Structure 1
């Protein structure tokens, strides 16, 4: 399937602690075969899975077996190390959603494995606008999902011609990923696949829909730590990431074994490291 990797970008690494935004679909599973991602590792991050259409079966080395469905968020914490598989279910005809990562701060990046699931209700934000708040708080609606840095994540739907102004935390920077329609966001017109950014300091965000709009609003306090992000690992320097890769290739207990996966591979080998040293990135891109 076609995947649009919106973040990281060469000019920007984070929106708050959101460090990775993949936007995919709508994908005709009968044509492409759908999603079948064998067991693969993570360190130093949380994955946030959010679907617009379809269903994905999740298994991980913390023993969690859970479904990802539209309107329901799955947050998996890797911390010290985890592995998981993701497979679209036989009932899925169309697969469409976003895969998000959150970088864990230094104090928490070696924490134990965790998993949280929450069905986010659709709530009104004004005439012609509804939201599903899956992380953080928006317009008085709060998700119970716990994060290690202040964050916001919400799916917005806005009817054609409607305008909505949202009160937001001035300490947060915000990003709006457009899935369908076009929207004017903070004075900038955005189309499908665009990610609009508003820096910290704004107390309100105004969105005007051109066509029926679905978008994902992300936010958080600026993340100022340096990270090295390569493949599925987040570390703090080149040598640390090299060690993570070696441990995964050796099938280390750091990551464990995923039980019950019956797909095409028993595990996903890591790619070769690039020549030269992996360089750290900050909020505004690479050094």
Structure 2
């Protein structure tokens, strides 16, 4: 997914105003392009918190009737130095990218694209007869560490097996998670820093205690229902709970209508990065160079930094204008 804001903010990680214990990040609504734009609810980056582990971007969208809104229509656009994590609860999206991949994003299956030194891709809702009309899911970005920013772009698909527990079903799509009874479940998908990504679906009134890595900070995004965390915090829908490193477990209790959620985690990211539009760099110059290269290519140069692919929907997205100041860390 692309950041389609006309005047995207500059975000610098590594200097978060961290808070001990737990804090809740409310979402802000962002239109995803077009006159009938689908609205996404963005919780990362946020003021005072730009990352959770290597996760630097969290969008939550739907349930959205694509027949009424046009759904997700994101033409070819670039990325650098990150991985995109696509996870759906319902609906279907077609993904195309300059590695040559044409794939369908469907519920319960992970699509992970590593941008590395540069890639371009598109994401378009599937609206053919018989396709599910309701689009609903999350889009996540993770920042690559410095030693991986120049890797070749790749694409991976993985279908995690659900683990059935008493009153809950868990799918781990990234990393590893400890479950009740000493069980553990993990994903074979490659990441460049330790990460956790899991979908948890809880039945009405269910309670679940998960093991946490005390070296990780965690994020918990409530997709649907009502949820109490650790016997206290009632997390509102579409809000993101941040948990600082330290705890070794987390207890979740679903309300009378159950709860669906996404659990994220990773060790605090120890490197400073500048994120602007769809680019991640270490310096102002990195971002300026990436933007200039994209503007010169716009997805038409198969031998360029970002490559090209056949996109039947029209032209690529041009990059917004850079702000008239140097991209630098904010206080």
- Coarse TM-score class (shorter-chain normalised): over 0.9
Structure 1, unmatched stretches of 5+, are 281-285
The residue that corresponds to 2:204 in the other structure is: 160
- TM-score for both structures, normalised by structure 1: 0.95
**Is 2:253 aligned against 1:208?**
yes
Q: Give 2:190's match in structure 1, choosing from 132, 136, 146.
A: 146
The residue that corresponds to 1:272 in the other structure is: 321
**Is 2:153 aligned against 1:113?**
yes
Does structure 2 conserve the Cα–Cα contact (< 8 Å) formed by 1:185 and 1:196?
Answer: no
- Take 2:286 and 2:175, find their aligned partners in 1: how far apart are those partners? 31
Q: Give 1:135's match in structure 2, choosing from 154, 174, 183.
A: 174
- Take 2:142 and 2:159, find their aligned partners in 1: how far apart are those partners? 19
Does structure 2 conserve the Cα–Cα contact (< 8 Å) formed by 1:85 and 1:258?
Answer: no
* Structure 1 residue 202 displacement after superposition: 0.9
CA RMSD of aligned residues (A): 1.1
- Take 1:235 and 1:197, find their aligned partners in 2: how far apart are those partners? 25
The residue that corresponds to 2:295 in the other structure is: 249
SS in 2 for 1:248: helix
* Structure 1 residue 276 displacement after superposition: 1.2
Q: Give 2:90's match in structure 1, choosing from 46, 53, 56.
A: 53
| Alignment size in residue pairs | 279
The residue that corresponds to 1:184 in the other structure is: 228
- Take 1:26 and 1:132, find their aligned partners in 2: how far apart are those partners? 20
- Take 2:44 and 2:124, find their aligned partners in 1: how far apart are those partners? 23
- Take 1:87 and 1:242, find their aligned partners in 2: how far apart are those partners? 28
* Structure 1 residue 240 displacement after superposition: 1.3
- Take 1:2 and 1:268, find their aligned partners in 2: how far apart are those partners? 18
Q: Give 2:271's match in structure 1, choosing from 225, 229, 235.
A: 225
SS in 1 for 2:320: coil
Q: Give 2:241's match in structure 1, choosing from 176, 193, 196.
A: 196
* Structure 1 residue 203 displacement after superposition: 0.6
The residue that corresponds to 2:16 in the other structure is: none
- Take 1:92 and 1:241, find their aligned partners in 2: how far apart are those partners? 38
**Is 2:67 aligned against 1:3?**
no
* Structure 1 residue 275 displacement after superposition: 2.2
SS in 1 for 2:146: coil
Structure 2, unmatched stretches of 5+, are 1-37, 179-183
